Structure 1
């Protein structure tokens, strides 16, 4: 049986998703890994699955390390070569995604800022 797929206008659902992204440390020494934690929680009365979560920093060089693609897809048999995670969010249950990477030389002594984007299942 083919799965049913619905396109959802995200401007109607995004207010139902809470996202909090934070660095695990305010400062780091040179050579220490930068760690970012991203918490997602849906406030709507039904579960939601996203296809991808993109986290980006003000230095786009790191963005390749800050992406989770739902490893389950519409069916449990789907495969992906990218970093996989479970992006099936259950109401009022926070999900945490952790990322880590080494800073590049030019970012030592500077500040990094976090931005995020949620993509609905297609």
Structure 2
């Protein structure tokens, strides 16, 4: 099996492993729709990567490449990136925070 982890606790999710990694996850999942050409996505990445270890065991962090996963983009109704969601089973909630502090505050409310 190929290594799906991008960096530390962050998993690269696509249409093939979405069900297993997101829908069937036993803990809530923070989904980040991004693309390598997207400036704001790259600006968000350090905060996303810094927070992942802090939520280990309480929140799974995954990234979905928007260019390669159009069906997932449609499923979530994503019109622009970066776009974050916390997913618990079939329920999803948009996350608005884009800085480490705001993101952390918002995640604390959603996962506690």
Give the TM-score normalised by structure 2.
0.28
Q: Which has the higher strand share?
A: 1
Q: Which has the higher helix share?
A: 2
Q: Based on CA coordinates, which of the two structures has the bigger radius of gyration? A: 1
Give the TM-score normalised by structure 1.
0.26
